Structure 1
Amino acid sequence: MNNSEKLIKKLQMTPHPEGGHFKESYRDKNISLIYYLLKKNEKSHWHRLTKNEILHFYDGDPLIVSLSKNGIDMHKIILNNSEDQLSHFVVNSGTWFSMETKGEYSLIGCTVSPPFDYNDFELAPKKWEPKKS
């Protein structure tokens, strides 16, 4: 069993609708927090929330986060614990984003306040991605 499979088992993660694996680790009336893991060849499909979401890098290989505020222009950031990369990042509400690992796996935390609700979550059509006009 490789490291990603060990983490999925240890954290009791299940498949997430956007891709990858997750486990909610905390929720109250003000905030929610999940563990989220992407393995090699998995991708977090383009989606957006009506609330800000904070991504925290925990373990594994660097994570590429692709972002598009308007659905046309796109830029990327990399989450990692190295000095020259970000260890956390706030995805502003309404911003389309997707994620993929640069290696075998990436484990992050996702914090949403007020708490995450699937009614605040929009998954883009299957092959959608930002397009330059």
Structure 2
Amino acid sequence: MVPSDFIKRFSMQPHPEGGYYSSTYQASLLIPQHSLPDSFQASRPVSSAIYYLLEQGDFSSFHRIASDECWHFYAGEPLWIHALAPDGSYTRTTLGPHQGMTFQYVVKAGTWFASEPATGSSFSFVGCTVSPGFHFDEFEMAESDWLISQFPEQASLIKRLCRGPL
């Protein structure tokens, strides 16, 4: 399959951070707002999931969310996830099927992260499972100048993988 096949088969739409997505699951069980950390503005389903596709030349812009997000590799070629943790550390994780890669990776809540097909990858088809469930109210797109002020040693990466706030 090629990217357009995935986009059509799964009725994928453009995602504000880049790439394409389609929602695949939202739990019916809700966590009441009073049981969640203050970073949540309303009750949330216990979990939600999407399919996500990135083609070479596109990227998921640096952003953060209020929940943990587990990435799953499904098809295509390797994907890099760049994470800037609250403690100032940087990690690059490669999702993919080959030696030294992983099929799953969890981005912890509050971590700034971006993703892109690895060098030489034409596209990556992955899934993202979020718990508590995702809502755009808790989605924050990074502003490059501010993020660079927090992580100056990653300035070139941030400039390359930031679209700016929504």
The TM-score with structure 2 as length reference comes to 0.74
Partner residue, 2:164: none
Moved more, 2-11 or 32-41: 2-11
Partner residue, 1:105: 123
TM-superposed deviation, 1:114: 1.4
Partner residue, 1:123: 141
Render the CA deviation track for 1:37-63: whole Å, top value 9, x for unaligned.
Answer: 000100000001111000000001100
Moved more, 81-90 or 91-100: 81-90
Percent same amino acid at aligned positions?
A: 34
Partner residue, 1:4: 3
Q: Distance in 2 between matches of 1:67 and 1:16?
A: 19
Partner residue, 2:104: 88
Q: Which has the larger radius of gyration?
A: 2
In proportion to residue count, which structure has more strand?
1
Q: What are the ranges of 5 or more consecutive residues in structure 1 without an aligned counterpart? A: none
Number of matched residues?
A: 132
Structure 2 residue identity aligned to 1:100 = E
Partner residue, 1:46: 62
Say if 1:96 and 1:71 are closer, same or farther in 2 by CA, change over 3 A.
Answer: farther
Q: What are the ranges of 5 or more consecutive residues in structure 2 without an aligned counterpart? A: 28-44, 155-166
For the aligned residue pairs, the C-alpha RMSD in angstroms reads 1.9
Render the CA deviation track for 1:14-44: whole Å, top value 9, x for unaligned.
Answer: 0001000000011123210000000010000
Partner residue, 1:68: 84
Structure 2 residue identity aligned to 1:39 = E
8 Å CA contact 1:58–1:108 kept in 2: the answer is yes
TM-superposed deviation, 1:132: 2.2
In proportion to residue count, which structure has more helix?
2
Partner residue, 2:153: 132
Q: Distance in 1 between matches of 2:144 and 2:15?
A: 15
The TM-score with structure 1 as length reference comes to 0.91
Point out which structure has higher relative CO (alpha carbons under 8 A, 6+ apart). 1
Q: Distance in 1 between matches of 2:87 and 2:64?
A: 11
TM-superposed deviation, 1:120: 1.3
Structure 2 residue identity aligned to 1:11 = F
